[in-house]
Structures are given as C-alpha cells and as structure tokens.
Amino acid sequence: MNLDATKLSELDAFMAETAHKTNSHSYVIAVLHKAQQLFGYLPREAMDYIAHAMNIPTAHIWGVATFYHFFNLKPVGKHPVSVCMGTACYVKGAKLVLDAIKEELRITIGETTEDGIFTLQETRCIGACGLAPVMMVGDKIYGDITPKKAVKVLAQIRKETV
Amino acid sequence: MDTTTVNIIIDGKPYAARHGQTIMQAADEHGFHIPRLCYHPRLSIEGACRVCIVEVEGAKNYVASCAFPVSEGMKIHTNTQEIRRARRDIVELILDNHPDDCHTCERDSNCELQRLAASMGIRNRHFKGEKKHYEKDLSSASVIRDPNKCILCQRCLRICSEVQGVNALSHAFRGFQTVVMPAYNLPFAESVCSTCGQCINVCPTAAFVEKNCTQELFEKLNDPSIIKVVQVAPSVRAAIGEAFALEPGRNMEGQTAAALRRLGFDYVFDTQFSADLTIMEEASEFLERFQNKDRLPLITSCSSAWMKMMEQFHPDFIPNISSCKSPMVMMGTLVKTYFAEKMKIDPAKILSVGCMCCTAKKYEAERPELRVNNMAAVDMVITTRELAWMVKSAGIDFINIHPESFDLPLGLSSGGGAIFGVTGGVMESAIRTAYEMYTGETLVDIEIGALRGFSGIREGKITMDKDEIRVAVAHGLGNASELLDIVRKNPQRYHFIEIMGCPGGCIGGGGQPYAGVNSMPLDENILKKRAEALYSIDRAKTIRRSLDNPDVQRMYKEYLGSPLSQRAHDLLHTHYAPKLPQGILPIESTVK
C-alpha cells in the first residue's frame, strides 16, 4: 500500500514540529494519533514511516500502537458505531441494542462492514447515563435508543453515505 | 562510584553497604542470595516479576530488592515466614499461567523458573490460572519463539535492545494478552533479528530455544549410505564441559572429537584449521588493500549474526567487509571440494555438519550465495547445547572418554586458529600472520594484550616496517554499532576492525550451554574462564601463527595456489548485499 502523499507531508510537518523538542521520542504517541487522524487507522506503512523518521525501532512503535486501545490497527469504516456497555446503559438494555446492530450489519465487535461504512465497537461509560441506553455514531450521541431505533438510524446513515 | 558507607541491618545483623547500591546488590555481597527472576546483572532493572521482594521496616509494602536503594539504618528482612509465603504465591501465580509440561520441555532441569519453584517449596497448587494459547514461531532458521512459555520477564527484549542494539523484540498488547514479539507480529525470519540467540541465553524458561535438528541428525547418522563429516568450532570445546556439570574453562577438545566419532561421524575436522585459512586470506586481503590504498578499515566477517545485522543496519559498510567466508563455511566448502576429490568421494554423498557455539550459523548455512557446486557447504548446524544433549542421549561417557585427535588433512591448527573464539582473537591472529607477510620478519610478542579483555571496544597499534597499523575490536552487536559510528565520524581512524556479534565473542555465543545452578547466563567470570581455555590451547601449541600451519601450506601448494588466487577466490570468498527490513538504530541509544 502506498500512503497518500498529501497526508504524508502533513504527517512530516507534524513530526518536524516535535523533532527539535527535548525527548522528541516521547512525542511518538502524539505522532501516532496524528497518523490515525490522517489515515483513519495505523497502516503498517505509516508505522514504518514514523519509525524511520523518528529513529525508533519498529518493534517499539508496534508495542505502543498495540498497547493503547485507541489505536486502530485495521481500517475502520466511515462511521464508527459504539454502543455503551456501562452499567446504566447495560441495565436499560444496551445488550439487546448491540445484538440487533450485529444482526443488521452482519458484523461483530471490532469488525467493519464490507462496504466500509460502519465499524462496530462497544465502549465503557461515556458519561451520558441520563440518556441510557446510548449509542454513538461518529461524534453524535443517540439516547434512549432501542433495537428498532438503532437499526433505523443506521439505515438512514447508510442511505446518506452511499 | 560513590563509596560512602551506609549501615544496614539484614535479618537482624548489621552490615555495611555502599550508598547507591540496591538492597539486592548489598545483600549479595554479604551472602544473602535473595530469590530473583527477571533481574539480570547485564541488563537494566525491570522490577517486573516481584520475586525478589523483601520487607523493609517502615515501608508500606514489600519492596523489590533489585530496584530499591539502601539507606542509612535500613532494617531489611529477607526470609520471614510472611515474605516466604508472599514470594511463593508470586511464583505460584506465574506457574499457574505456565504450561504444565516440564517433563517434556526442552529446558527441563535447566529452567530458572523450575529451580525457583523448587526453592520456594511449591508442593501444592492452590490456584488454577488461564493458560496462553499462541502459535510457536518456527520461521527463523535459528531461533524458535514460544509465547506460551513466556513469563514476561523481558530479559530477551532487554538484551536485544540494551546489549545487542538490534531491537527486534517488543512487548505488544497489554495485560494478560501481552506477548513479546517482533514488529507487526511478523514471523521472526522477516524481522531485523540477527539470529544471535542471546534471547535464548538469557530466557529463564523455554520461550526462546534454538531450532533443534538433533533428531534429524541422528537419523542421518544411522544411514550407511551417507559419509558423515563434522567440524568443531573453537568455543565448543571451551564450554561443552559445563553441560556435563564440569567447572567452566575445561578444554574438552579431545573428548569432543572422541564423542563425535562414537556418535557415528566418519571424519571429525577442526574449524580451527579453516580459521587458519581464513587468516591467510584475510591478512592477505588486508595487506592488498593497505598497499593499494583501497577502502579501509577492513572489517572481519566471521560472525554470522554480525553479518546479518550489517546487511540490515549498516549496509553503508558493505565495501569495508572482508570478502572471506566464515571459517565454518570455508571448511564446509573444502569438505565438498578438496576433501571429496582427494578421497575420491562423490560430494553429493557427504553430509557436512557444523558443531558450533552459535545459533546464527544455522542461518548462515542456509545462505544461497554460500552454496558450492549447487550443494550446501554445511548441510546442518548443531549448537554446543545440541551436541551435549546428543552425547548424553547416545549414552556416551563424555567425562571419562579417552581423548582423541581430529582427522587430517583438515584437523591441524595453529594457536592462532584456537583464539578465534574469543573477542580480539581474530585480530590477534591476523596481526601475527600479516606482520610476517608484510615485513618478512617474525613477530616476537605474539600475545597482544591491548586486544585482550572484555571491555566493549578496544584499540591497538602495531608498527610494521615503518607503517603504523591502527586496529580496533568490538564484541556484542551494540558495541559494534557504536564502533561503526566512530568510523563514520572519522574514517581514517582505523585500518582493520574485528567485530564479533556476541558478548565475549563466540565463547558467549547463543548456542552455548545454559547457565548452571550457581551462575547467571553470560556471567563474565564464566566467559573469562572459557577465554582462558582457548588462550591456554594457544600457549600449548608449538605453532602459533596461522601461516606456519603445515597443512595450510600444503593445501595452498596442492590445491589453492596462493592466498587470493583465482581458486581461493572462487571457493573461499563471498559477497554481501543490503537486506530488508532495514534496521533502525535509535540516536539516543540505550546501548551501554
């Protein structure tokens, strides 16, 4: 896979900002964040690129990228779907919502739909317990969600995306 | 070093410690060997296993003695009933995630975890833990990685980064899912791993072991249609005794030759012979470059782990690398050409085996560019450990066996060939021979003190006629990288450089016997004793310069012509090329 040249030069610019700072190696997490923001996930080529640019052995980059759950090692869909499995959401039926979504999208947690639109995740409490059960699509929160409502929301988003 | 004395109390009795020492270091000096697991004296403090906990009065919790510094008036308890219980529970919890297969494990009776469990008195199991289920990584020609046996002490990745500077390994993922692996969980064979095998040396369990080929070899040894030829590296004889519980430093040359014959080898040759040959070629190559003002420094190429690392990390030095094949491959090549012709044997019927202190030699043996007439020069490589096991398995009384000599015409060696196994030895041998080749006079002081010892990088000077030759030696891949950085900054500084991939040179190779009950892997005192074994072989020889070896002289006369002749070039020299993935050397190096 070849990385997009425009995105790479943006990554270069970001790394250049950190390069002259003391302990520049410690900016590796920030740089990985930037890469994920640019590419949607951390492709191996991006990690290789960062490793050579920052002079950090690839094995160490891999160690960091796998340690933090925030980093995606596989491509993610355009719209990440997270169902909150925190206590409040759970007792209000989040599990049923999750099951309905799994069935509708024919994927399980951590997977991406074939058309690349949705990636399903479960999350711990997002601090919106008053709205429980809660589903997030991208940055948008959907409260008081039911299995039926969830499926409808996703269908609508898919329609708008395609 | 800070020498301020600190008064401490260990188990009720007063002792003196030095400011800055850890509790473990101070206790060690006074005869308290606090149990430990992840600690290794050559590596940074990890504090991962918590086995070395002690009670310090006034401290809220038990402290890890490997990491906790002593202070004035500190009262330490190392062996209370409560500490003993806590420590036992810690080890038991490690065992609970560990496969229960000691009796079929390769490290059975050589395992630090097993010894620790025994010393904790774990006779009942109270917990039932989850086991790990990962695939073994069998991709490397040299090293097998088995994450199921890993206890996450991280010695392997510390030696790989801190001592070797290769950084092939890291811990990936987190919590119970943590696995020590190469980047992207790629097969080891596709990583920057140099195949040096030091991870095997320091692993307390069997999470890293060599690619064992003893069963396959036993099968071949029982096949009467094959002519079995073996060669023995210098460092094997200096260390194999340890696998039979002998004191380190015993020279077991004659016993090794005798045992190999009893295992079924038809011809037992000495890699020291081809080490002499390497010196003839390498010294000639050096003098040719020196006189023609070609690219210098010339850098030695005997160490297979170093060669792999060079191709991946330092390809800019390829023009400096000696084109000489390693002594093992020179021998293998001659076995399938010179020896086969002389004995009128079909070389296709020969099984050429290398018995080496090294795991990287297994990788080297598979290099396609080293094939000779479409055959592998060395068909199979076994480590010192594998040989020791074969000898035991075949029921050979190794300790009491009557010593025998190597076979001719590839078994006679000079002292210069013997010291190849110690860091600095190749350079010392090369100087002995090059001096005489260049000046026509014999070098009187042939033991070159400046090149001996174990400091990471050493320098020496020798005057040949009116020319000053500046040489340097590095051992351990981390030191090698450091030395090359010096050369990059100052290319004129040296004329000739020796690099050995392992700490101490081949005597500290990744295929040497596991540490015994009372020692640590890569213990410097043991390395010194192994070195002394090789130095005493050298001292005991009448012939100490490679160019005086009469069988080497005969080989040139009968077969090769002269050093660097066309035939010598075809058979004894090779070439190197950059390899991927390209290695990364951190600028702010953690290498000591």
Tell me whether residues B184 and A44 touch, CB distance under 8 A: yes
In the listed set B79, B99, B128, which residue is the last one of a domain according to the structure? B79
Q: Which residues of A are annotated as a binding site for [2Fe-2S] cluster?
A: 84, 89, 125, 129
Q: Which residue of A has its CA nearest to B178?
A: A67
Residue B587: the pLDDT is 65
Residue B205 is assigned to a structural domain of this protein:
yes
Question: B12 with B153, same domain?
Answer: no
Token reading at B1: 């070093």
**Crossing angle, helix A44-54 and helix A58-67, to 10 degrees?**
120
- Shortest Cα distance, chain A CAs vs residue B360, angstroms: 21
Task: Answer yes or no: are the C-beta atoms of B37 and B204 closer than 8 Å.
Answer: yes
Q: Are residues B299 and B394 located together in one domain of the fold?
A: yes
Listing from the earlier edge strand, what are the strands of the sheet with B380-383? B267-270, B227-232, B350-356, B380-383
3-class DSSP state for residue A14? helix
Domain membership flag for residue B592: no
- Cβ distance of A63 and B192 shorter than 8 Å: no
Residue B453 Cα, gap to closest chain A Cα (Å): 31
CATH number at residue B11: 3.10.20.740
Segment A110-136, tens digit of pLDDT: 899 999 999 998 888 888 999 999 999
- 3 state DSSP class of A38: helix
Residue A89 has pLDDT above 90, yes or no: yes
Pick among B152, B156, B166, B170 to test the A interface (most A CBs inside 10 A)? B170
Q: Taking CB atoms and an 8 Å cutoff, what residues of chain A touch B182?
A: 59
Both B412 and B451 in one domain: the answer is yes
B310, B317 in Cβ contact below 8 A?
yes
Task: Please tell me the distance in Å from B455's CA to the nearest CA on chain A.
Answer: 26
DSSP B178-219: -EEESGGG--GGGSS-----HHHHH-SSSSEEE---HHHHHH
> How high is the ipTM of this complex?
0.92
Query: Would B554 be classed as within a structural domain?
Result: yes
Contact A57 B174 (CB under 8 A): no
Q: Between chains, do B584 and A66 touch, taking CB under 8 Å as contact?
A: no
Q: Are residues B202 and B309 in the same domain?
A: no
Amino acid at A123: T
Check CB contact under 8 Å for A67 and B169: no
For residues B304 and B181, membership in a common domain is answered with: no
Q: Would you state the structure tokens that stand for residue B470, as one six-digit string?
A: 């500046």
CATH among 2.40.110.10, 3.40.30.10, 3.10.310.30, 3.40.50.880 for A79-161: 3.40.30.10
Q: Which residue has the tokens 């310069």?
A: B545
Q: Which of B64, B79, B94 is the last residue of a domain?
A: B79
Interface residues on A facing B, Cβ-Cβ cutoff 8 A:
25, 44, 47-48, 51-52, 55-63, 66-67
Distance (Å) of CA B261 to CA B250, B274, B387:
20, 20, 12
SS3 state at B37: coil
Q: How far apart are CA B411 and CA A159, in angstroms?
A: 80
Query: Does a structural domain hold residue B137?
Result: no
- Looking at the structure of chain B, the number of domains it has is 3
Contact A66 B174 (CB under 8 A): yes
B330, part of any domain = yes
* Residue range of the domain that includes B197: 143-211
Q: Which chain A residues touch B191 with a CB distance below 8 Å?
A: 59
- The alpha carbon of residue B418 and the mean position of all alpha carbons in its chain are separated, in whole angstroms, by 16
Active-site positions of B? Answer: 282, 285, 302, 322, 361, 364, 369, 506
Which of B29, B60, B79 is where one domain is finished? B79
Residues of chain B found within 8 Å of residue A58, distances taken between Cβ atoms: 183-184, 192, 581, 584
Q: A1 pLDDT exceeds 80? A: no
Helix, strand, coil content of chain B in percent (nearest 5): 40, 15, 45
Binding site residue list of A = 84, 89, 125, 129
List, as one string, the DSSP characters of B415-441: HHHHGGGSTTHHHHHHHHHHHHHHHSS
Measured in whole angstroms, the distance separating CA A137 from the mean position of its chain's CA atoms is: 11
Q: Is residue B422 part of a domain?
A: yes
Distance from CA of A55 to the nearest CA of B (A): 5
Consecutive sets of 10 residues in chain B, 592 residues long: mean pLDDT of each?
88 97 97 96 94 97 97 98 97 96 95 96 90 97 98 97 97 95 97 98 98 98 98 98 96 98 98 98 98 97 98 98 98 98 97 98 98 97 98 98 98 97 97 96 89 96 94 98 97 98 98 90 94 98 97 97 98 97 77 38
Cis peptide leading into B581, omega within 30 of 0? yes
Q: What does the pLDDT read at residue A162? A: 78
| Binary contact (B183, A67; C-beta < 8 A) | no
- Do both B237 and B267 map to the same domain? yes
Cα A137 to Cα A94: distance, rounded to the nearest angstrom: 15
Q: How far is CA B276 from CA B23, B235, B328, B465, B590, in A?
A: 49, 15, 11, 24, 37
In terms of pTM, does the model score above 0.90? yes
Residue A123: the pLDDT is 86
What residues in chain B have their Cβ under 8 A from chain A's Cβ atoms?
Answer: 157, 161, 167-174, 181-185, 191-192, 581-588
Cβ neighbours of B173 in A, within 8 Å: 66-67
Lookup: tokens for B252: 């077991």
Domain shared by B326 and B444, yes or no = yes
Q: Which residues in A lie closer than 8 A to residue B170 (C-beta atoms)?
A: 57, 59-60, 62-63
One domain, residues B417 and B394:
yes
Q: Is residue B124 part of a domain?
A: no
Within this chain, do residues B26 and B159 fall inside the same structural domain, yes or no? no
Tell me, yes or no, whether B130 lies in a domain: no
Q: What count of CB pairs under 8 Å joins A to B?
A: 57
